[in-house]
């Protein structure tokens, strides 16, 4: 007998679409390499970059960097939050920031998580902002307070040999950051700090749901009809 076609209901098609979308790490930085040290070698200046993400699906053309108004800013890599290194800098002014850059093309439901800490005289008040148009405009997501690591009154101390202390970890959904050819995420200081006051960031992870490619979506239409041969 000739094959017959059986229609697959909307619930099955929806399940197929759900399986076609998968949560993924778009890009993440765990600061795997120590910064230069020693007289004349320690990085200084308005900008410093740790380069591309060390993990994730979109490491190409990604970057984690810092901007400081003062050229006297110094960049070091002390112990992270349960990891060997972190991205640290001093000489903070209002408006200085850490910035993660990555493509979120074909990703939805973007979110970011990160660990951040400061010294006793480092800046404590920050805002999380992002841009999808190359920095022409930014969306403010949240204001937050950075906790002190080490010293009197600090809730904990960052250590490479200890487990990650979750009290220093923040996470935030970024509505509107999906499917961007270039997403800029800034952790921007709202206050200044003492010249030697430091602030450090670690374990920056940008996540999202992978959207099915056009070819997969076309298959979804075909999946509505399933041939079933009967003898």
The CATH code of the domain that includes 168 is: 2.60.120.260
The mean pLDDT of the chain is 88
205 and 224 in a common domain:
no
What CA–CA distance (Å, rounded) separates 45 from 114? 24
- pLDDT tens figures, 82-136: 999 999 999 999 999 999 999 999 999 999 999 999 999 999 999 999 999 999 9
Residues of the domain holding 11:
1-21+213-231
Count other Cβ atoms within 10 Å, centred on residue 41.
8
**Size of the chain, expressed as the number of residues it contains:** 231
Residue 217 has pLDDT above 60, yes or no: no
The predicted model gives 146-167 an average pLDDT of 95
- Percent of the chain beyond pLDDT 90? 80
Instruction: Give yes or no: residues 220 and 137 share one domain.
Output: no
Residues 171 and 223 in one domain: no
CA–CA–CA angle 140, 145, 150 (5° rounding): 145
E strands present in 96-198: 97-102, 107-118, 125-131, 139-145, 169-173, 183-189
Tell me what pLDDT residue 5 has.
35
13 and 106 co-located in one domain:
no
Give the CB-side neighbour count of residue 197, counting CA atoms within 13 A.
17
Domain match, 67 and 146 both: yes
**Percent of the chain predicted with pLDDT > 70:** 82
Q: Are 45 and 132 contained in the same domain?
A: yes
Backbone φ, ψ for residue 98 (5° rounding): -100, 145
Count: domains in the chain? 2
Q: Supply the pLDDT for residue 21.
A: 57
CB crowding 208-220: b at 16 or more within 10 Å, else e: bbbbbeeeeeeee
3 pLDDT tier (thresholds 50, 70, 90) = very low
Residue with tokens 């979804």: 220
């Amino acid at each position: 007998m000739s094959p017959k076609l059986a229609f697959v209901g909307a619930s099955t098609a929806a399940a197929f679409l759900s399986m076609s979308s998968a949560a993924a790490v778009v890009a993440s930085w765990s600061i795997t390499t120590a910064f230069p040290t020693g007289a004349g070698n320690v990085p200084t200046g308005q900008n410093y970059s740790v380069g591309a993400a060390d993990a994730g699906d979109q490491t190409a053309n990604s970057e984690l960097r810092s901007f400081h108004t003062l050229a006297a800013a110094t960049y070091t890599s002390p112990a992270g939050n349960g990891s060997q290194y972190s991205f640290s800098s001093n000489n903070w002014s209002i408006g200085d920031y850490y910035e993660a850059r990555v493509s979120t093309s074909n990703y939805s439901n973007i979110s970011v998580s990160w660990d951040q800490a400061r010294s006793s005289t480092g800046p404590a008040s920050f805002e999380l902002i992002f841009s999808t148009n190359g920095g022409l405009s930014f969306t403010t997501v949240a204001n937050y307070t950075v906790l002190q690591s080490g010293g009197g009154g600090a809730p904990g101390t960052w250590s490479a040999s200890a487990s990650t202390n979750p009290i220093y970890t923040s996470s935030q959904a970024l509505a509107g950051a999906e499917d961007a050819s270039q997403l800029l995420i800034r952790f921007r200081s709202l206050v200044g700090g003492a010249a030697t006051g430091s602030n450090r960031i670690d374990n920056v992870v940008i996540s999202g749901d992978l959207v099915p490619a056009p070819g997969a979506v076309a298959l979804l239409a075909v999946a509505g009809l399933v041939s079933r041969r009967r003898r």
